[in-house]
Structure 1
Amino acid sequence: MSTAAALPPLPPERRSGMRPVERLCHATGALLVLSGLAHLVVFLVDGGPWDGPVSWRKPFTFGLSFGVTLIALTWVTSYLRVGARLRAVLLAVFAADCVVEVAGITLQAWRRVPSHLNTETPFDTAVAMMLALGGAVLVVVLSAFAAAAFRHRPGGPLGMALALRSGFAILIVALLSGAAMIARGTALSRTGHPQAAYHSTAPLKPLHGVSLHAVLVLPALAWLLSRTSWREATRQRVMYAAVGGYAAAVLGAGVWAAWSW
């Protein structure tokens, strides 16, 4: 059997409309985005601090970020050479986990207590543990998609393979920085320094935020370039420049985090 024949076929993109799991993920992502925007309105009406462990910022930013990421991941994984059933399962698990994460953070925001690193009561501990477990699930699912991107060359227009592989590689940085925040915060919280635990994660937040969305920004640029009349060589140079620029931004955020930590 030839190598090409052994590869999982590319999904028939847009040929017969979206699959049920894609419609589910898009609808779920849209609801999460709306939830985030609704909490921005709550902040504007209710006020309160923007920073800190207890603020309306958290349900706003997490709802928006998880919603956009879910929609983006549903789109970009259509270019991966991965079995349709496996992709559907991974996307469904990811969608459910996004809902759990945003729901836990939103619940604690309305209770006016911290969502992460909070072990004040058994209920708060259960929520914090649920969010930590959800983070572990996110790592597993996203790592599986990243492995698929590097195992077989993704399809799509010119530059999409570079965009996807670079985006997923940078996404791993986001996962590692998120894990580092949780690990450091948990260690400080368990030694009786809850306020220090919350503040200790601040230097890594820019790195986490910047690297999290590369898997959307770079593929979106590749798609937009495919709609232009530019020569292939020009589009390829633009993609390499974009990847280099994004990597430089991530590196800068990483240097700042290391300096501030």
Structure 2
Amino acid sequence: MPHRSPGLPGPAVDRLHLATGLVLVLSGLLHLLVFAVDGGPWDGPVSWRKPVTFGLSFGVTLITVAWVTSYLRMGRRLRSGLLTVFAADCVVEVGGITLQAWRRVPSHLNMETPFDTAVSMTLAVGGGVLVVLLALFAVSSFRNRPTGPAGMPLAVRSGFAVLLVALASGAAMIARGVVLTRTGHQEAAYHSTAALKPLHGVSLHAVLVLPALAWLLSRTSWSEQVRHRIVAVGVGCYAAAVAAAGVWAVLTY
């Protein structure tokens, strides 16, 4: 099965994904500056927090997925195609959230006007696309052992497994909010996601932290056995953090 050298800059399409991710990160940082100048609340459904955090999170996630999937044993064309759709979806998500922030209206679960409903539904559908794409990458990581230095296969598989928790919690937030919105509890819908946000946030970036740990360890002179054990400990610690966030979600849901 065609596969390029893992962990290295690849074809032009890979560089395009990395550049797109960087633009999204810069968008988040730019809106942090806007917040510093314009002020206003940091929390709540209408704030500059959303374009900041979503720009940074989606940008980092896109860069991460573009890098980490280079360790997967899957065809180059399939991987590039999935990454292209993923990158476009990330742009749509951040773009919709940023647009609504400048309009000073909520971006998610907002059914106040036909336009707001269209934006909200686009973001919801985009979230569904993200779930499908990342689930496909996760399945690929478990079907065929990822490549890479000692500990990297474990890190990649664990990262994608924890990422599935983030996707599930994100879907749960959207589902609960939609139900509240459809039953006439619009304001409650805006605040219904608070309990799941820590779980979603913690589990979202395991796919970066754990492979990055394996990559950093590969730069040391330690034996493969030692490096693999350290990655295993890192996986255990991350799992404990996710479990703690899960307990918090259950207690406060």
TM-score by length of 2: 0.98
CA distance in 2, matches of 1:145, 1:216: 14
Q: After the TM superposition, which segments of 4 or more aligned residues of structure 1 sit over 2 Å from their partners?
A: 12-15
Aligned match of 1:223: 215
- 8 Å contact 1:10–1:155 — kept in the other structure? no
Q: Which one-letter code corresponds to 2:39 in the other structure?
A: G
Alignment of 1:153-168 (within 5 A): 153-168=145-160
The answer to whether 1:11 aligns with 2:11 is no
Q: Which one-letter code corresponds to 1:152 in the other structure?
A: N
Deviations 1:100-134 (A, max 9, x none): 00000000000000000000000000000000000
Q: How much does 1:14 deviate?
A: 6.9
- 8 Å contact 2:86–2:130 — kept in the other structure? yes
Aligned match of 1:125: 117
Deviations 1:53-85 (A, max 9, x none): 000000000000000000010000000000000
Q: Which one-letter code corresponds to 1:257 in the other structure?
A: A
The answer to whether 1:33 aligns with 2:25 is yes
CA distance in 2, matches of 1:13, 1:79: 5
Q: Which one-letter code corresponds to 1:197 in the other structure?
A: A
- 8 Å contact 2:73–2:144 — kept in the other structure? yes
The answer to whether 1:151 aligns with 2:139 is no
Deviations 1:158-195 (A, max 9, x none): 00000000000000000000000000011011111111
Count of residues in Structure 1 that have an aligned counterpart in Structure 2: 253
The answer to whether 1:140 aligns with 2:132 is yes
Deviations 1:10-56 (A, max 9, x none): 323477x5212101101100100000000000001100000000000
CA distance in 1, matches of 2:252, 2:54: 24
- 8 Å contact 2:4–2:10 — kept in the other structure? no
CA distance in 2, matches of 1:76, 1:13: 8
The answer to whether 1:105 aligns with 2:105 is no
Alignment of 1:1-261 (within 5 A): 8-13=1-6, 18-261=10-253
Q: Which one-letter code corresponds to 2:203 in the other structure?
A: S
> Secondary structure in 2 aligned to 1:81?
coil
The gaps in structure 2 that reach 5 residues or longer are none
Q: Which one-letter code corresponds to 1:24 in the other structure?
A: L
RMSD: 1.0
Deviations 1:196-247 (A, max 9, x none): 1111100100000000000000000000001011122221211111000000
The gaps in structure 1 that reach 5 residues or longer are 1-7
- 8 Å contact 2:195–2:249 — kept in the other structure? yes
- 8 Å contact 2:7–2:71 — kept in the other structure? no
CA distance in 1, matches of 2:149, 2:118: 45
Between the aligned residues of both structures, percent identity stands at 72
CA distance in 2, matches of 1:58, 1:132: 15
- 8 Å contact 2:6–2:148 — kept in the other structure? no
CA distance in 2, matches of 1:190, 1:254: 27
